[in-house]
């Protein structure tokens, strides 16, 4: 459920005076093992109780959330986790002390809140100590669980508003705040350490992770594999299609591409290799499919909850419009699998005795009923928090209809597993609030958005490319959720504004801009006003809008763009960034999920990364559709039209890249297929899309019949 593999390496029990650590997490034994289990149980039960009976304030709940997981992180993550170290009891004691410092500092700030306000927002000496202790502990624990990037950003952010921002020239100059104000805002700010993002972590994210742990413990994971085998096992490329289906369904349980790869890959990758797929291709299929698991409703990883908070768009609306794009992504990967199977002339799998009915009968109830209950509650308007709690109860009840009923022991294990899986995510999301708070306080996000708009010169596609590059760089050191949070804070306003500008460009090109809106041009371009009353070429209108300064563009959008269009643009901007933030899982030189798959497939890591990047083209195609079409408008008719053309277009592009459809193709046919695929996806109009689709279908028919466009088939 987390974004890194948290399973500790199994090792012999160490001597009483030392603990041997070879993995990211420490192997706890004896009293410490039971202490960690007790803390996990308290955290899971406590959050479930608070979801139903909110007896604590939001701030107090977030402090409880951080304190518990900070203590667990100190226990589980030693100072240098990736080296083999012999640790004395004194060293272990220092880690426990760090956890207690985090708990004490955060708890003190929760208890001292009223007194601080009573003193006119002045910190007492003990308040200074507690605030600094909590921030330093959060920074160090974040370093342990996720690396150096976020801790470095925290230090740079806090010192920027408190010290060196005043020495920076240009648009990033900041006159600075007193250190007392910096500490106060870092603790009590709306976007701070115990603010909005911590609230998301302590409600939606953790509750859905507990829900996922109950699904796993109930045997839903085995059902997913059996169901995928029954559906796709006997088709051409069946083992690869099993990986696609299993990873997509597992995405409803796990929001982690790496955990998804590790759990389903141990079954699907050997299946693909036995069927004849190359090892690097098998690993790439699993990595690309598992990455899509974070795009699959209804959970979509932690990013969906953050998106709902940032945009104030209901969570159920986000997961509803995300369904067709996620399906298109998985179809894209499935096309590559089928085409590769045809290219390699691979035969379907032999029957293995698993049928659709036998899979559903054995364990379907523990997966289907809870997921259906969850979706029904979300669609009916219940909050995600309430839906998650009821969904957990539905897992327990429905498990008794399967061969793996959940008794007290299984419930106990699921509660502990859920909290254990949440450690890294909880610490990270609380700590990243320190960075987001500075971005909001200093206005860095607006400045960065202006820079993106300036660099791209109003070209939306170029702006998306810049965000994709920034996402890849951030992904080298940040988990996906943190990368999305940082990128959304910095660049979402720019992307949303440029998408909204398409509406203004159309109005200007058609000569329909209202007189009140035309008056805004008096501020920056009075010589253009006479041209606005008559139609003009779209390119000229786009150039006019792209040249507007922010002080004109912003009120023009507020005046002209309808509220529903602006909301769709905002959702599209965040969804673009959310999708692009996944690319570090499959894009070299990082490709975290691909490297995990390479370990299972015993293939070269970088070659597997290249294969996964090639297979995951949907990560880059679908965000362009978000930007230029009505895919996320909420109009299901328009969205379905975009989806259908997207299906044909991505199949044609996959055929062009692989040099095969139903049969291998020569270069002339590949060029035609690539052009037809681009025409299907091109936002120039329905006529162009329709021509592209007809050409792609005609090419497929000709290719299937073995007409001259096909190249000589490669021997098996």
Tokens representing 114?
């009223």
pLDDT, greater one: 171 or 563: 563
Helix (H) or strand (E) holding 21: strand 19-21
DSSP string for residues in 422-440 = HHHHHHHHHHHHHHHHHHH
> What local confidence, expressed as pLDDT, does residue 711 receive?
52
What average pLDDT does this structure show over 602-608? 90
Helix (H) or strand (E) holding 227: helix 220-232
User: For residues 616 and 333, is the Cβ–Cβ distance under 8 A?
Assistant: yes
pLDDT, greater one: 542 or 187: 187
User: For residues 600 and 269, is the Cβ–Cβ distance under 8 A?
Assistant: yes
Print the domain residue range for 714: 635-716
Q: What is the DSSP letter of 660?
A: B
Instruction: Report pLDDT digits (tens) over 420-431.
Output: 989 988 998 899
How many C-beta atoms lie closer than 10 Å to residue 344's C-beta?
17
Residue 487 domain-assigned? no
> What local confidence, expressed as pLDDT, does residue 523 receive?
66
The gap from C-alpha 218 to its chain's centroid, in whole angstroms, comes to 25
> What local confidence, expressed as pLDDT, does residue 524 receive?
67
The gap from C-alpha 347 to its chain's centroid, in whole angstroms, comes to 35
User: For residues 242 and 263, is the Cβ–Cβ distance under 8 A?
Assistant: no
User: For residues 374 and 385, is the Cβ–Cβ distance under 8 A?
Assistant: no
Provide the terminal-to-terminal Cα distance of the chain, rounded to the nearest Å. Answer: 40
> What local confidence, expressed as pLDDT, does residue 225 receive?
81
**Checking DSSP bridges between strand 85-87 and strand 19-21, what pairing results, if any?**
antiparallel
Residue 143 domain-assigned? no
Task: Spell out the residues 6+ positions from residue 613 whose beta carbon is closer than 8 angstroms to its own.
Answer: 284, 586, 587, 588, 591, 594
Residue 4 has pLDDT above 70, yes or no: no
CA within 13 Å, CB half, 603 = 28
Among residues 392, 424, 456, the one where a domain terminates is 424
Among residues 424, 456, 479, the one where a domain terminates is 424
> What local confidence, expressed as pLDDT, does residue 477 receive?
61
What average pLDDT does this structure show over 282-289? 92
Residue 697 domain-assigned? yes
Residue 361 has pLDDT above 90, yes or no: no
The pTM assigned to this predicted structure is 0.83
SS3 per-residue string spanning 536-553: CCHHHHHHHHHCCCHHHH
Tokens representing 373?
């209950």
Max mean pLDDT among 157-171, 244-258, 569-583 falls in: 569-583
User: For residues 106 and 35, is the Cβ–Cβ distance under 8 A?
Assistant: no
Among residues 373, 392, 424, the one where a domain terminates is 424
Residue 706 has pLDDT above 80, yes or no: no
For 483, counting Cβ atoms within 10 Å of its Cβ (0-12 exposed, 13-18 middle, 19+ buried), the class is buried
Residue 84 has pLDDT above 70, yes or no: no
Residues in the chain: 716
Residue 369 has pLDDT above 80, yes or no: yes
Task: Spell out the residues 6+ positions from residue 277 whose beta carbon is closer than 8 angstroms to its own.
Answer: 239, 240, 285, 340, 341, 344, 346
Q: Number of helices and strands (H, E) in the chain?
A: 33, 2
Residue 115 domain-assigned? no
For 596, counting Cβ atoms within 10 Å of its Cβ (0-12 exposed, 13-18 middle, 19+ buried), the class is buried
DSSP string for residues in 466-508 = HHHHHHHHHHTTS-HHHHHHHHHHHHHHHHHHHHHHHHHHHHH
Helix (H) or strand (E) holding 213: helix 206-217
Residue 520 has pLDDT above 80, yes or no: no
Helix (H) or strand (E) holding 655: helix 636-658
DSSP string for residues in 556-572 = HHHHHS-HHHHHHHHHH
For 67, counting Cβ atoms within 10 Å of its Cβ (0-12 exposed, 13-18 middle, 19+ buried), the class is buried
Q: What is the DSSP letter of 77?
A: S
Confidence of residue 243 (pLDDT cuts 50, 70, 90): confident
Q: What is the DSSP letter of 29?
A: -
User: For residues 713 and 345, is the Cβ–Cβ distance under 8 A?
Assistant: yes
For 55, counting Cβ atoms within 10 Å of its Cβ (0-12 exposed, 13-18 middle, 19+ buried), the class is exposed
Residue 394 domain-assigned? yes
Residue 309 domain-assigned? yes
pLDDT, greater one: 24 or 229: 229
Q: What is the mean pLDDT of the chain?
A: 84
Residue 308 domain-assigned? yes
> What local confidence, expressed as pLDDT, does residue 415 receive?
96
Torsion-angle region of 590 (φ positive above 0: left; ψ -120 to 50: alpha; else: beta): alpha
> What local confidence, expressed as pLDDT, does residue 6 receive?
38
How many C-beta atoms lie closer than 10 Å to residue 168's C-beta?
11
pLDDT, greater one: 11 or 715: 715
How many C-beta atoms lie closer than 10 Å to residue 597's C-beta?
37
Residue 565 has pLDDT above 70, yes or no: yes
Residue 381 domain-assigned? yes
Distance between CA atoms of 672 and 696, rounded to whole angstroms? Answer: 8
Instruction: Report pLDDT digits (tens) over 166-201.
Output: 888 777 778 888 999 999 999 999 889 999 889 988
pLDDT, greater one: 563 or 44: 44
Q: Phi first, then psi: what are they for 698, rounded to 5°?
A: -65, -40
> What local confidence, expressed as pLDDT, does residue 7 receive?
36
Domain count, the chain: 2
User: For residues 556 and 519, is the Cβ–Cβ distance under 8 A?
Assistant: no
pLDDT, greater one: 408 or 522: 408
Distance between CA atoms of 631 and 643, rounded to whole angstroms? Answer: 8
> What local confidence, expressed as pLDDT, does residue 592 receive?
78
Distance between CA atoms of 364 and 671, rounded to whole angstroms? Answer: 45
What average pLDDT does this structure show over 103-114? 95
Tokens representing 322?
């995300």
> What local confidence, expressed as pLDDT, does residue 563 receive?
87
Distance between CA atoms of 605 and 591, rounded to whole angstroms? Answer: 9
Distance between CA atoms of 489 and 34, rounded to whole angstroms? Answer: 40
Distance between CA atoms of 53 and 37, rounded to whole angstroms? Answer: 24
**Listed residue (563, 25, 642, 497) closest to 313, CA to CA:** 563
**Listed residue (461, 448, 455, 432) closest to 576, CA to CA:** 461
């Amino acid at each position: 459920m987390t974004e890194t593999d948290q399973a500790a390496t199994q090792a012999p029990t160490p001597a009483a005076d030392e603990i041997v650590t070879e993995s990211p997490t420490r192997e706890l034994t004896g009293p410490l093992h039971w202490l960690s289990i007790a803390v996990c149980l308290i955290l899971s039960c406590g959050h479930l109780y608070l979801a139903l009976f909110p007896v604590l304030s939001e701030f107090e709940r977030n402090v409880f959330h951080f304190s518990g997981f900070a203590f667990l992180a100190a226990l589980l993550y030693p100072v240098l986790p990736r080296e083999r170290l012999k640790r004395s009891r004194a060293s272990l004691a220092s880690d426990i002390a760090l956890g207690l410092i985090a708990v004490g500092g955060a708890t003190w700030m929760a208890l001292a809140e009223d007194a601080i306000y009573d003193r006119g927002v002045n910190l007492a000496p003990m308040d200074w100590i507690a605030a600094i202790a909590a921030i330093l502990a959060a920074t160090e624990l974040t370093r342990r669980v996720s690396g150096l990037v976020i801790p470095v950003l925290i230090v740079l952010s806090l010192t920027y508003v408190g010290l060196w921002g005043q020495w920076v020239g240009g648009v990033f100059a900041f006159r600075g705040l007193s250190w007392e104000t910096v500490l106060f805002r870092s603790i009590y700010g709306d976007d701070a350490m115990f603010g909005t993002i911590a609230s998301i972590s302590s409600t939606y994210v953790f509750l859905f992770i507990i829900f996922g742990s109950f699904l796993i413990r109930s045997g839903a994971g085995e059902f997913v594999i059996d169901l995928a085998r029954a559906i796709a096992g006997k088709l051409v490329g069946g083992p690869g299609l099993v990986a696609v289906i299993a990873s997509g369904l597992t995405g409803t349980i796990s929001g982690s591409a790496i955990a998804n790869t590790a759990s389903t890959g141990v079954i699907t990758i050997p299946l693909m290799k036995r069927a004849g797929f190359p090892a690097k291709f098998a690993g790439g299929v699993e990595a690309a499919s598992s990455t899509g698991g974070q795009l699959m409703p209804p959970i979509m990883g932690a990013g969906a909850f953050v998106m709902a908070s940032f945009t104030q768009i209901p969570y159920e609306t986000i997961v509803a419009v995300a369904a067709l794009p996620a399906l298109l992504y998985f179809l894209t990967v499935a096309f590559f699998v089928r085409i590769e199977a045809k290219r390699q002339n691979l035969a379907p799998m032999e029957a293995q005795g698993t049928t659709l009915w036998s899979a559903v009968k054995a364990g379907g109830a523990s997966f289907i009923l809870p997921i259906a209950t969850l979706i029904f509650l979300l669609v009916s308007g219940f909050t995600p928090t309430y839906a998650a709690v009821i969904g957990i109860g539905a897992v327990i009840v429905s498990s008794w209809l399967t061969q793996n009923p959940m008794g007290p022991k299984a419930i106990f294990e699921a509660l502990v597993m859920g909290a254990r899986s949440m450690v890294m995510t909880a610490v990270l999301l609380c700590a990243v609030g320190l960075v987001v708070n500075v971005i909001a306080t200093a206005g860095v996000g607006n400045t960065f958005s202006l820079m993106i708009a300036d660099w791209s010169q109003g070209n939306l596609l170029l702006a998306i490319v810049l965000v994709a590059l920034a996402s890849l760089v951030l992904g080298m050191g940040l988990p996906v959720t943190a990368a999305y949070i940082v990128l959304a804070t910095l660049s979402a306003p720019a992307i949303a504004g440029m998408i909204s500008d398409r509406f203004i460009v159309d109005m200007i090109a058609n000569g329909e801009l209202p007189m009140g809106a035309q008056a805004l041009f008096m501020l920056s371009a009075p010589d253009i006003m006479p041209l606005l009353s008559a139609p003009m070429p779209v390119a000229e209108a786009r150039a006019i809008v792209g040249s507007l300064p922010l002080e004109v563009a912003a009120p023009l959008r507020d005046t002209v763009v309808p509220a529903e269009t602006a909301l769709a643009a905002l959702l599209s901007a965040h969804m673009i960034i959310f999708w692009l933030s996944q690319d570090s899982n499959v894009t070299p030189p990082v490709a975290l999920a691909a490297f995990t798959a390479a370990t299972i497939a015993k293939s070269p890591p970088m070659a597997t990364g290249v294969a996964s990047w090639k297979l995951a083209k949907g990560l880059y195609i679908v965000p362009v559709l978000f930007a230029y079409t009505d895919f996320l408008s909420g109009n299901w008719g328009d969205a379905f039209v975009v989806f259908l053309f997207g299906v044909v277009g991505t199949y044609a592009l996959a055929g062009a890249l692989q040099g095969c459809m139903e049969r291998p193709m020569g270069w002339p046919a590949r060029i035609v297929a690539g052009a037809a695929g681009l025409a299907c996806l091109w936002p120039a109009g329905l006529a162009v899309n329709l021509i592209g689709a007809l050409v792609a279908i005609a090419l497929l028919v000709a290719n299937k019949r073995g007409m001259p466009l096909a190249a000589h088939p490669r021997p098996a």
